[in-house]
Amino acid sequence: MPWKYKMDVRKQNLRTESEKKLWRSLNARLPGKVVLAQWWLEECDYLVDFLIEPCRLVIEVDGDSHRGREGADRYRSAEIHARDYEIARATAEHVMADAEGIAAQIVFRVGSAAADRRIHDQETPDSAVA
């Protein structure tokens, strides 16, 4: 399917209450970072709940639609991970109970990823560890 069509469909997808709650928490804790919601990953043709592109972090909220699909979710995660994305998953129940705590964990991961990138960017071939 064409990219534009997929992105138009994305706009029509209504987020669940748990996704809305996590969205608010993430945006409050990550000012200045772009948290993309309901985003298509072109490389593997998957729609993800959230994407923080600079650190290539995909965030998935697993609600009722994921029950009984654990194998498919593992396969999907492996496909996404194989394209150099990290994945953070939380159940919808956990998000509803502790969105702030989950957002704090994600902020920590974003900070760690940024630090890793800064270190990697400063490495030279002589200082790189094999």
Mean pLDDT of 104-112: 89
- Residue 122, pLDDT score: 45
Q: The pTM is what? A: 0.76
- Residue 38, pLDDT score: 86
- Residue 40, pLDDT score: 85
Interval 4-57: pLDDT, tens: 655 565 555 657 899 999 999 998 998 777 888 888 888 888 889 999 988 899
Q: Which of 39-43, 52-56, 71-75, 95-99 has the highest mean pLDDT?
A: 95-99
| pLDDT higher than 50, residue 127 | no
Question: Collapsing DSSP states into helix, strand and coil, what is residue 82?
Answer: coil
> How far apart are alpha carbons 123 and 40 in whole angstroms?
32
> Which residue, among 62, 73, 59, has the nearest Cα to 103 in the 3D structure?
59
CB of 25 closer than 8 Å to CB of 102: yes
Question: Collapsing DSSP states into helix, strand and coil, what is residue 26?
Answer: helix
In CATH terms, the fold of domain 3-122 is Endonuclease; Chain A (3.40.960)
